[in-house]
Amino acid sequence: MTQYSQEPIIGIDLGTTNSLVAYCDTAGPRILTGPSGQRALPSVVRLAVDSGRLEAIGEDARSHSVEYPDATVFSIKRLMGRSAEDLKEDLAYLPYAVTESEHNTARVQIGSHKVSPQQISAMILAELRRWAQAALDTPVRKAVVTVPAYFDDAQRQATRDAGRLAGLEVLRIVNEPTAAALAYGLGQRTATGSESGPETRDLQPATTKAVSKQETVAVYDLGGGTFDISILRLQETSQGTVDQVLATAGDTHLGGDDIDRMIVELIQAQVGARFGSETRFTPSTRQVMRNLAEATKIRLSDDSRAPIEIDLGSNRVFRHMLTRDELQQMIRPWIQRTLDCCQRALHEAGLEVSQISRVVMVGGSTRIPTVQAAVADSFGQEPYTAMNPDEVVALGAAVQGAIMAGIHRDMLLLDVIPLSLGIETMGGAVAKLITANTTIPARAKELFSTYADRQTAIKIHVLQGERELVEDCRSLGRFELKGIPPMPAGLPKLEVTFLVDANGILNVEAMEQRSGRRAAIQIIPNHGLTREEVQRMETESVENAREDMTAHQLIDLRMNAQIDIRNIRRQIEMVRDVLEDDYVQELQRHISAVQEFIDASCPDADAFHESLRAMDHASMRLAEISIAQTLRKQASLDPQGE
**Residues with a known catalytic role:** 13, 77, 176, 221
Could you tell me if 576 and 584 are in contact, meaning their C-beta atoms sit under 8 angstroms apart? yes
Phi, psi of 520 (to 5 degrees): -150, 165
Q: What is the 3-state secondary structure (H, E, C) of 61-115?
A: HHHCCCCCCCCEEECHHHHCCCCCCCCCCCHHHCCCEEEECCCCCEEEEECCEEE
Burial of 585 (0-12, 13-18, 19+ CB in 10 A): exposed
335, 255, 266: which is closest to 306 by C-alpha? 266
Chain length of the chain: 642
Enter the DSSP assignment of 164. Answer: H
Evaluate the CA torsion angle 261, 265, 266, 268 in order and state its sign.
positive
CA-based angle 520:521:523, to the nearest 5?
155
Could you tell me if 434 and 560 are in contact, meaning their C-beta atoms sit under 8 angstroms apart? no
Alpha-carbon span 476 to 460, nearest angstrom = 11
Could you tell me if 201 and 437 are in contact, meaning their C-beta atoms sit under 8 angstroms apart? no
In terms of DSSP bridges, do strands 227-237 and 214-222 run parallel, antiparallel, or are they unpaired?
antiparallel
Three-state secondary structure call for residue 29: strand
Alpha-carbon span 343 to 249, nearest angstrom = 9
The 8 Å CB, 24+ separation contacts for 198-203 are 198/443, 199/443, 199/444, 199/445, 200/444, 200/445, 201/432, 201/433, 201/435, 201/444, 201/446, 202/435, 203/434, 203/435, 203/438, 203/442, 203/443, 203/444
Query: In the chain, what is the straight-line distance between the N-terminal and C-terminal CA atoms, in Å?
Result: 84
Could you tell me if 363 and 385 are in contact, meaning their C-beta atoms sit under 8 angstroms apart? no
Phi, psi of 210 (to 5 degrees): -75, 140
Q: What is the 3-state secondary structure (H, E, C) of 370-400?
A: HHHHHHHHHHCCCCECCCCCCCHHHHHHHHH
157, 173, 155, 123: which is closest to 12 by C-alpha? 173
Three-state secondary structure call for residue 525: coil
Alpha-carbon span 99 to 532, nearest angstrom = 56
Tell me which amino acid residue 428 is.
G
Alpha-carbon span 55 to 61, nearest angstrom = 8
How many angstroms separate the most distant Cα atoms in the chain? 106
336, 345, 146: which is closest to 248 by C-alpha? 345
Burial of 351 (0-12, 13-18, 19+ CB in 10 A): middle
Give the number of other Cβ atoms within 10 Å of residue 138's Cβ.
Answer: 14
Alpha-carbon span 156 to 172, nearest angstrom = 10
For residue 323, the cross-strand partners are 305
440, 435, 477, 434: which is closest to 459 by C-alpha? 477
